[in-house]
Amino acid sequence: MTTSDPVLRPSRATPLLPEAGAAGTPLTVVIAVLAFMASIALAGYFMVSRAVHDWTGDLSGTITVQIKGATGADIERDATRAFEVLQATDGIAGVSRLSREDTEALLEPWLGTDNLGPEIPIPMLITAEVTPERRGDLDILRQTLASRAPGASLDDHSLWNDRLVGAARRGQAVAFVVFSMVMGASAAVIIFATRAGLAANREIVEVMHLVGATNKFIADEVQRRYLTLGLRGGGIGALLAAVILFLSASFNREQQGLFLPNLSADPLMLFWLILVPILLCGVASITARLTVMRVLGEQM
Amino acid sequence: MNSINQRSTNTSTGAPIGAVPPKIVDLRDVQLSYDGQHNVLHDASLVLREGDFRFLTGASGAGKTTLLKLIYLAHHATAGQVQLFGQDVSTLPPEALPTLRRRIGVVFQEFRLLDHLTAFENVALPMRVMGHKEVAYRNDVIDLLKWVGLSHRMDARPPALSGGEKQRVALARAIVSKPDLILADEPTGNVDPDMGAKIMQLLIELNKLGTAVIVATHDFSLVKRLQMKILRLKDGQVTLHQPLSDIAADAAGRGTR
């Protein structure tokens, strides 16, 4: 025979089980939608985690000392003493005192401009950076400030931090539950589709058995199909999610400076989204395999 | 043909000359019922040894296809003992059955080709389910398809094939894996006389190389011409008959038509 003989053409083996029942394009769409939801849930988990880490990291690295008093002179005296105490304390650096002008600017949204006469005693703020070691033991500093500058109160932001971390943990738990439910729904859909596919291809499965196919061989065939399907559907869903997150990140960058934490996506998080199609592939192929083995085992 | 030559090599280490060939099929007092009340097979017994060639005859509805299904493990006996290749199938775990099925080539009466596969792929199916790579069986499949006169139809799918072409693809699929036993249910029923004779000649050649063959047929001219022993199925029981003489064939033909 010559190489021009048409029968010697290299062939690509046709899948032994054709797409039938609920498998095929409709199932790819369903998997893509589930992958999109799983990606958004996963992204939400990481975005909240990152935002809280950034925010609490900023806050826990600083302390704020607020000085109040009955008169401007009292405030000025206590502010100077507090400033000196902070500068003299180990583990405290970058002590910065807000000027009266800066403070007035902070109050402007509530009190308007030029409404604060020089006789009004505006509280003063001093911020400082604190090392983790010092942050663990701020009681001595509090006592020193209380004795040297009675109008000063130290705020280490722990109350705000705790509330923020608590809210973030709840948000992460919700995202994780959603992600898990989507994976569970994917498994349920695959079980249904696999059973429907086996029922629709009953004659083919029977012929395969009669020519000597083992259940494992048939399960391999089905598993290969669902692996491809999971990769295709999962990839489409994750890609759509990545596009949405990218657009969202662009929008968030434009909103920088707002009081809310930045919930934008970063490239590393987008990398984690690759996990979604991989996980869906795993869920789809393993679920399909177990379903085939179970169904064929029941028929024997 | 490659497949036949290879089969010859496989059987060269068979039973010593003069020894009784090993049993391929051994049915003892087998009963089989679809509804639990009416037995299609009733205390049916038969022995088929390596190298045996048998025609299976009987009236329509006598249970010829059922008997073949029992042997190729599509049905289970309700009572009695079924031994294939020396193994009692009732004692075998389900996962052991594919190994036995791979030693049996079946030509189904209704062909049972897979419509989404090409003729080539249908013939190659047993090799594929056994895990062989295409490079290992490609030439054998091509040779077989050429031999059955379908070299020009290798890429055609069953819906595009005629009844005779489907029959030939089904035959090629049954023998591609060089089985120890071939069960053919009306293998010449859908082909012209020339192709029918060719198919029977192939089965005889395979039989001469040691393959046991059972051909279920209504065609008594075929039974008469080939002069092989006959398994006659009547009232759910199997009886073995010597090759038909012309007169006996006429008589038997009248009785079973």
Cα-based distances in Å from B169 to A17, A123, A252, B71, B214: 19, 96, 65, 22, 19
Residues 6+ apart with CB under 8 A from A79: A67, A97, A124, A126, A149, A152
Residues 6+ apart with CB under 8 A from A33: A237
Interface list for chain A against chain B, based on CB atoms closer than 8 Å:
1, 6-8, 11, 13-14, 16, 18, 203-204, 206-215, 217, 297, 300
Kindly list the residues from chain B whose CB atom is less than 8 angstroms away from the CB atom of residue A213: 98, 129
Is residue B20 predicted with pLDDT exceeding 60? Answer: yes
Tokens of A201: 């291809």
Higher-confidence residue of B97 and A52: namely B97
Torsion angle in degrees (nearest 10) through CA of A246, A251, A257, A258: -110
Report pLDDT for A250.
Answer: 74
The DSSP element (H or E) to which A155 belongs, if any, is strand A152-155
Report pLDDT for B253.
Answer: 53
Record: contact B117-A16, CB cut-off 8 A: yes
Cα(B72)–Cα(A264) distance, integer angstroms: 64
pLDDT tens for each residue of B55-65: 999 988 888 99
Residues 6+ apart with CB under 8 A from B9: none
CB pairs under 8 A between A and B: 66
Q: Which span out of A72-76, A105-109, A131-135, B83-87 was modeled with the highest average pLDDT? A: B83-87
Kindly list the residues from chain B whose CB atom is less than 8 angstroms away from the CB atom of residue A14: 116-118, 121
Please check whether residue B13 is in contact with residue B173, taking contact to mean a CB–CB distance below 8 angstroms: no
Is residue A62 predicted with pLDDT exceeding 60? Answer: yes
The DSSP symbol for A13 reads P
Record: contact A14-B118, CB cut-off 8 A: yes
C-alpha B253 chain-centroid distance: 22
Shortest CA gap A13–chain B (Å): 8
Pick from B72, B131, B134: which is nearest to A210 by CB?
B72
- How confident is residue A23, by pLDDT bands cut at 50, 70 and 90? low
pLDDT tens for each residue of B165-216: 998 999 999 999 999 999 999 998 877 888 888 889 889 988 998 899 999 9
Shortest CA gap A4–chain B (Å): 14
Pick from B95, B101, B151: which is nearest to A210 by CB?
B101
Cα(B217)–Cα(A140) distance, integer angstroms: 106
Task: List the domain boundaries for chain A.
Answer: 17-57+165-299, 69-150
Report pLDDT for B17.
Answer: 63
Residue found by looking up tokens 């109040």 in the block = A68
- Find the residue in A nearest to B71 (Cα): A210
Residues 6+ apart with CB under 8 A from A159: none
| Substitution target from A207, A211, A221 for chain B, most B beta carbons within 10 A | A211
Q: Round the average pLDDT of chain A to a whole number and report it.
A: 83
Tokens of A177: 């539950």
- Percent of chain A beyond pLDDT 70? 88
Interface list for chain B against chain A, based on CB atoms closer than 8 Å:
72-74, 94-95, 98-99, 101-102, 106, 112, 114, 116-118, 120-121, 125-126, 128-131, 134, 142, 145, 151, 154-155, 173, 177
Pick from A6, A14, A212: which is nearest to B129 by CB?
A212
Report pLDDT for B190.
Answer: 76
- Find the residue in A nearest to B70 (Cα): A210
Provide the CB-side half-sphere exposure for B209 (13 A, CA): 21
Report pLDDT for B160.
Answer: 96
Q: What single letter denotes the amino acid at residue B159?
A: P
pLDDT tens for each residue of A237-295: 999 998 888 887 777 666 655 444 555 556 777 778 888 899 999 999 999 999 999 99
Q: What is the ipTM of this complex?
A: 0.85
How far is it between the farthest Cα atoms of chain B?
51
CB burial of residue B214 (10 Å; 0-12, 13-18, 19+): buried
Residues 6+ apart with CB under 8 A from A216: A293
Please check whether residue B100 is in contact with residue B76, taking contact to mean a CB–CB distance below 8 angstroms: no
